[in-house]
Structure 1
Amino acid sequence: MKYDIASRKDIEILVNEFYSKIKKDEQIGFIFSDIAMVNWEKHLPIMYDFFENMLFYTGSYTGNPMELHKHVNRLLPLTEIHFRQWNHLFSTTVDELFEGTTANLVKQRAKSIAAVMQNKILKESSSADRIF
């Protein structure tokens, strides 16, 4: 039986399963392994903090995800397809593991954050491509 996200342990389960899917994904896995060259040992605890703060306002995350994603975009221009696949994998993972108000909230907030990042990053890429 599924239950709602209620603790950091639940977030760790979600994040671990989500990134397990990311690593295997043909559309975006290479971005993490070959382009960003993510150190998973360091990255996963940061993501636990990020999502814990997003849901429970713990103050455990203080980074700037926009700048990190802009850096990746400079290495490999990201597309709407990349963002869509990230969101699909995230929402699917949440739905496979959890149900309830907080599960729905994390999907909504992740989708909103991804939309803002997509808008800013793709707009920045488009502006950089213009010749003045």
Structure 2
Amino acid sequence: MSMEVEQLAVFLENKSGRLAEITSIIAIEGVNIRALSVADTADFGILRLIVDDVEKTQKALKANGFTVGKTNVLAVEVEDKTGGLANVLKVIHEVDLNVEYMYAFVNKTGENAVLIFRFEDMEKALVALQERNFTLLTGEQICAL
């Protein structure tokens, strides 16, 4: 079972209504968005999504002319208290890795929070976090929350 979670990255022009269009397409397909992040530059934006049906979403967005990429991320469960994020980042620093980006997952699992990470070396980060007993969630677990 893979501990990495599939994420879609959609490239969009910085133009009014593009985000609304994408979310409408996804809604029409009956797909649930579990987490998302939007980053932008002067020229374009990147919408990162974790959805409950990656293939269906990718196909629908491509059919509507969007450029869609697929990458793997790690979903790390942390205690929802002071220092939760700092503890993860301390481990990543100890193994000399960079965080390419991160965002928070909207749901909580009981008393914990879930953070989504992309690291420069995903395998090294995975091993380091597992060795230190961090809980990593699968794509199925994320979609079940």
TM-score, normalised by the number of residues in structure 2: 0.30
Higher-strand-fraction structure:
2
Higher-helix-fraction structure:
1
Higher relative contact order (CA 8 A, sep 6+): 1
